[in-house]
Every structure is written in structure tokens, then in C-alpha cells.
């Protein structure tokens, strides 16, 4: 009987060590390759720096847009949901589970030069969306908005209903209640949502790839360079994304602990 806890403990140790080995090995390999291929020097290249700037700008713009729209959707589905709200919320959440390449393809169909919206835009204003920075922003926005919506929904749902009712009974209208009560109380969750959405946007590959044309973001550049055998740039950019992801997770966890 007493052997069971020992066996269980041993099994747990093996699983944890195995998992550590499996998940740790790519990071160790990356570091090893980065040092060997002098990834740092490879990063200090004008073309690479341009890619980093493009990625940052598009991700920031997509995140800003997604924050506004995601919070609005989260608010709508928490406080103003009417008949069919569940269907609509599922619809807006679809990009979360959709393969990114399919999302990118659908965006092409909608906003491409011959697309449903893209064609009239091109005919009326000679406006081309695809294969521009706008397309990168749209692709990332499409993918990250549901994340932001879910963060906002969960933030609003955590606020006791009586606070909203109290605000209304004290004479505050919907807008005042939103600005003075809901936003301040949900700020930590919303900030965590924004950070996560930004990390997802800067790492977005599939959808962005479909609409980027000749433009490159960090993930696209990693793919291109890795396939082309240029390990230095691939290593440097990968490590940059690893560090950024680590920072994001750390911040989100920090905000979560602060909230508790």
C-alpha cells in the first residue's frame, strides 16, 4: 500500500523531467545556433530592422484597433445582448479556431483587388488594400479581435451586477457607467488582454503570409530565412520573439497577481 505514493511521485518526476527536456530542447538549440551563427550581427541589418519595424507598427496598429472593437464587442455581449447574442458571439469568436491560412484566404477574397469589398474600393478610389501594411494590420486585427473580445467579456462579467445597477440608480447613464465604473474596474484584465493580443499579432504568420505579398513581418522573415538556410537572421529574430513572448507572459501573470 505504501509503495503507491512512491510510484506516483516517481511517475510525476519522470513526466516533469520529460516535459522539461522536450520543451527546453528547442530553446537550448536556438541559443546554441544563435551563438554559433552570430545571430546578433545578423540582426543589425537594414532589411532585418525594417522587418522588425514593419512588424511592430502593424502589430501596434492592429492591437489598438482590436482593443477598441474587442472592448465594444465584449461590452455589447455582456450588457446589451439581445436575442441571438450567443450566435453572434460564436461568430465573432470564429477566428480563434479558424486555421490562419483560411482566415488569410478569406481576407483575400473580401479585400483583394477583385474581392467583394476590395473591387469596388479599387474601382472607386484606386485603393488597394492587399499586399500593403494595411493588409498586415487587417489580417492581424482579424485574428486578435476575438481574443480581445473574450478578455473584455470576462473582465466585465467579473464586475458585480449590483455596481452597474447602483450606477444607473444614482443617475449615471450608460456611457458614464462605462467610463467611470466598468473601464476602471476591468483595467487590469483589459491591459492583460491588450498585451496578449499584441503578442499574438506580432507572432501572427498564416493569415499575414496570405495577404503580405512582398512585405515581410518577423515570422515571415524567420520562415523565409530558415528555408533559405540563413540561420543567423532566423536565429536572431526567433530569439527576439522568444524574449518578447516571455516578457508578455511575465507581464500578464504580474497583472493577474496584482488583481488578486
Partner 1 sequence: MTLLLEDVSLQIDRNPILEQISFRLPIGQVLVVLGNSGAGKSKLLEVIAGLLRNQSGRIIFGGRDLGTLSPQERKIGFVFQDYALFPHMTAEENILFGLQSRQAPSREQTKWLKAVTAELKIDHLLGRFPAELSGGQQQRVALARCMVLRPEVLLLDEPLSALDAASRERLALLMKKIQKKYRVTMLYVTHDHNEARFMGDQVLVVDRGRAVQMGSPEEIFSRPISRFVAHFTATRNILPGRIRERCGVGQALVEVVGVQLMSTSFPVQGDEVWVCIRPEHFSFVEASSAVSLQISDKISDEMSAENLISGYRISQIIPQSGVTVLVELMRRRERLMVFASNRRVEEWGLLVGLEVSLSVAGSHVHCLSRQPRDIYCRPQ
Q: Which residues bind partner 1 (CB under 8 A)?
A: 160, 162-163, 165-173, 176, 180-181, 184-185
**Based on CB atoms, which residue is closest to partner 1, 58 or 177?**
177
**Based on CB atoms, which residue is closest to partner 1, 86 or 180?**
180
Closest to 54 in 3D by CA, of 202, 226, 172, 189: 202
SS3 label, residue 229: coil
SS3 label, residue 79: helix
- CB 69 to partner 1: min, Å: 25
**Based on CB atoms, which residue is closest to partner 1, 177 or 238?**
177
- CB 87 to partner 1: min, Å: 17
Alpha-carbon distance of 141 to 59, in angstroms, equals: 8
**Based on CB atoms, which residue is closest to partner 1, 32 or 180?**
180
Alpha-carbon distance of 252 to 191, in angstroms, equals: 8
Q: What kind and span of H or E run contains 110?
A: helix 100-111
Contact yes or no for 241/52 (Cβ under 8 A): no
Name the grid cell of 94.
Answer: 470564429
- CB 180 to partner 1: min, Å: 8
Closest to 235 in 3D by CA, of 46, 28, 55, 58: 28
- CB 176 to partner 1: min, Å: 5
**Based on CB atoms, which residue is closest to partner 1, 173 or 257?**
173
Using CA atoms, how far residue 118 sits from 66, 92, 98, in Å, is: 21, 21, 22
- CB 68 to partner 1: min, Å: 22
Using CA atoms, how far residue 240 sits from 86, 118, 231, 236, 252, in Å, is: 39, 34, 14, 6, 18
Alpha-carbon distance of 182 to 184, in angstroms, equals: 6
Contact yes or no for 164/78 (Cβ under 8 A): no
**Based on CB atoms, which residue is closest to partner 1, 50 or 179?**
179
- CB 254 to partner 1: min, Å: 19
- CB 190 to partner 1: min, Å: 14
| Furthest-apart CA atoms within the chain: distance in Å | 80
**Based on CB atoms, which residue is closest to partner 1, 181 or 244?**
181
Amino acid at each position: 500500500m505504501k509503495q503507491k505514493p512512491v510510484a506516483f511521485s516517481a511517475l510525476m518526476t519522470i513526466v516533469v523531467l520529460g516535459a522539461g527536456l522536450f520543451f527546453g530542447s528547442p530553446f537550448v538549440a536556438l541559443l546554441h545556433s544563435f551563438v554559433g551563427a552570430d545571430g546578433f550581427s545578423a540582426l543589425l541589418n537594414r532589411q532585418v530592422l525594417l522587418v522588425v519595424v514593419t512588424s511592430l507598427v502593424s502589430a501596434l496598429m492592429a492591437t489598438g484597433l482590436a482593443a477598441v472593437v474587442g472592448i465594444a464587442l465584449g461590452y455589447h455581449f455582456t450588457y446589451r445582448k439581445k436575442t441571438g447574442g450567443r450566435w453572434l458571439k460564436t461568430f465573432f469568436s470564429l477566428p480563434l479556431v479558424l486555421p490562419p491560412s483560411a482566415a488569410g484566404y478569406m481576407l483575400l477574397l473580401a479585400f483583394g483587388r477583385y474581392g467583394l469589398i476590395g473591387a469596388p474600393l479599387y474601382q472607386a478610389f484606386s485603393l488597394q488594400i492587399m499586399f500593403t501594411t494595411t493588409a498586415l494590420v487587417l489580417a492581424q486585427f482579424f485574428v486578435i479581435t476575438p481574443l480581445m473580445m473574450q478578455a473584455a467579456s470576462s473582465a466585465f462579467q467579473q464586475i458585480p451586477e449590483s455596481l452597474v445597477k447602483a450606477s444607473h440608480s444614482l443617475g449615471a447613464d450608460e456611457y458614464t457607467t462605462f467610463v467611470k465604473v466598468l473601464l476602471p474596474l476591468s483595467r487590469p484584465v483589459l491591459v492583460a488582454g491588450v498585451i496578449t493580443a499584441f503578442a499574438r499579432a506580432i507572432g501572427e504568420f498564416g493569415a499575414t503570409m496570405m495577404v503580405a505579398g512582398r512585405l515581410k513581418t518577423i515570422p515571415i522573415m524567420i520562415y523565409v530565412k530558415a528555408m533559405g538556410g540563413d540561420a543567423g537572421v532566423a536565429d536572431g529574430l526567433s530569439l527576439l520573439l522568444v524574449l518578447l513572448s516571455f516578457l508578455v507572459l511575465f507581464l500578464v501573470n504580474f497583472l493577474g497577481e496584482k488583481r488578486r
